[in-house]
Amino acid sequence: MKTLLLGTALTLGLAGMASAEGYKIGISNTVQGNGWREEMVCAMKAEALASGKVESLNIAHRNTDAAGQLEDIRNLIQAGVQAIVVNPANAEGINTAVKEATDAGIVVVAVDQAVTEPSAYILSNNQEQYAYLGAKWLFEQMGGKGAVVYMRGAAGAGADNDRDKGFKRAMAEFPDITVAQEVFTGWQQDQGKQQINDIIAAGVPFQGVWTSGIDNVIVDAFVESGAPMVPIVGADNAGFVGQLSSVEGLQGAAVTNPGSVGGAGVALAIQILEGKAPAEKTVLVDPELWENVTEEGKAKLAAAANPNLSPEWPVSVSVPGWTTYTMDQIIACKGPGE
């Protein structure tokens, strides 16, 4: 009897899957429990739902390495998805599975970071421009001279390498700017805070801090230690954006690095499935800079701040021109059929 029931349920379920219309899209992500990545996954779900063209999402979302992502992508191929949107663990390590997917006629879109496999589309935030915009603003605030603390991301990560290029480009334009200290925060809040505390305690003179997105804890360190505030550049994480309007004496700028690029990736995948492939295989989303020293900048910061967002989420919850979901939809974090 039990088997009969189970069999009927299974058959009905399968029949249900076959009769529904729309695309079946796979998602692969290898970092779980990080605010930026969670926003990315929610943006993917929200965009799939808002488009009305996606029947189901198969989401492989766990903490793993490139070998695990190979497994996930191959499982998605087996699941019969028509497109895969992937945040690659590594630019080269997952190429074989990406090639297998595109050979099987599956559209592959890499978001956030690039893959070197040429058959994949890449939709990424322009990380070089991200660093350049923030660094240039910072160096101007410092009056074009002085020493800067350069707090990078994770050593060897693709995004960190690209940001380093942008930072160096800005450095070249300001010959009187020097680097007081260069550290890798690993994009870890606790590590970054320890590092800035050490730098403050060591008494190294510096006139500005550039961070690769580990920003609110840096402001906290200045407030807690009572050290004189210097201009600080960070990302558009809700916590830091809030500090830019609330912390006394803080001059700073948030550069947008939307996690919602995941939603844009789903939008791009749908476009390609509909036969509207972009001319270039790589699409870069350009960042914006919101500072708190001019009235115009303050207005932008005030508009971006959103008390409903988790403090670790970037406040830029949509990518203009790409995503179509509403604020409520991304916060709800529900995909098709949920």
Partner 1 sequence: MRRWIEANAWTLGLAVLLAVLLLATKVIQPGFGATGLDSLARAALPFALATVGMAVVVIAGGIDLSVAAMMAVASVTGAVLMAGAGDGQALLAVIAVLALGIAMGTVNGVLIVVTRVPDIVVTLAMLFVWQGVALLILNAPGGGAAPWLRAMSAGGVALPGLPQGLTDWLPRGVVFLAVVTALIWVPIRRSKLGLRLYAIGSDPLAAFRSGVPVGQTRIAAYAICGLFAALGGLSVTMSTGIGEPIPGPYLLASVAAVVLGGVVLGGGRGGILGPILAVFILRTVRMDLTMLSVDPNVAAIIEGTIMVAVVMFGAILATRGRKA
Q: Which residues bind partner 1 (CB under 8 A)?
A: 10, 14, 32, 56-68, 70-72, 74-80, 90, 92-96, 154-157
In Å, what is the CA distance from 38 to each residue of 31, 41, 90?
A: 9, 5, 19
Q: Tell me how far apart the terminal alpha carbons of the chain are, to the nearest angstrom.
A: 30
Q: Rounded distance, CA 309 to CA 42, Å?
A: 12
Least CB distance from residue 14 to partner 1, whole Å?
8
Closest alpha carbon to 87 in 32, 126, 50, 49? 32
Q: Which is nearer to partner 1, 89 or 221 (CB)?
A: 89
Instruction: Provide the minimum distance between the beta carbon of 134 and partner 1 in the complex, in angstroms, as a whole number.
Output: 23
* Beta carbon nearer to partner 1, 73 or 218: 73
- By beta-carbon proximity to partner 1, the closer residue of 61 and 193 is 61
Closer to partner 1 by Cβ: residue 76 or 250: 76
**Residue 137 in contact with residue 253, Cβ under 8 Å?**
yes
Q: How far is CA 191 from the centre of its chain?
A: 20
Show the beta-strand stretches assigned E in 185-335: 208-211, 232-235, 252-255, 282-285, 289-291
Contacts of 266 (CB under 8 A, 6+ apart): 25, 43, 44, 47, 48, 51, 54, 85, 109
CB of 188 to partner 1, least distance (A): 13
In the complex, what is the shortest distance from the CB of residue 78 to partner 1, in angstroms, rounded to a whole number? 5
What is the side-by-side order of every strand in the sheet holding 252-255?
A: 177-184, 146-152, 208-211, 232-235, 252-255, 289-291
Closest CA to 278 of 233, 322, 318: 322
Strand partners, 27: 59, 85
Contacts of 200 (CB under 8 A, 6+ apart): 221, 222, 225, 227
Q: Which is nearer to partner 1, 61 or 136 (CB)?
A: 61
Q: How far is the CB of 75 from partner 1 (least distance, A)?
A: 4
Q: Which of 63/178 has CB closer to partner 1?
A: 63
Question: What's the closest the beta carbon of residue 287 comes to partner 1, in angstroms?
Answer: 24
- Do the beta carbons of residue 193 and residue 216 sit within 8 Å? no
Q: In this structure, how many other beta carbons lie within 10 angstroms of the beta carbon of residue 237? A: 26
Q: Which lies closer to partner 1 via its Cβ, residue 80 or residue 320?
A: 80
> Least distance to partner 1 from the beta carbon of 186, Å?
11
**How many other C-beta atoms are found inside a 10 Å radius of the C-beta of residue 202?**
8
In whole angstroms, give the CA distance from residue 110 to residue 265.
7
CB of 314 to partner 1, least distance (A): 21
| CB of 289 vs partner 1, minimal distance in Å | 28
DSSP 8-state secondary structure symbol assigned to residue 33 = S
- Residue with smaller CB distance to partner 1, 99 or 298: 99
Tell me whether residue 195 or residue 318 sits nearer to partner 1 (CB atom). 195
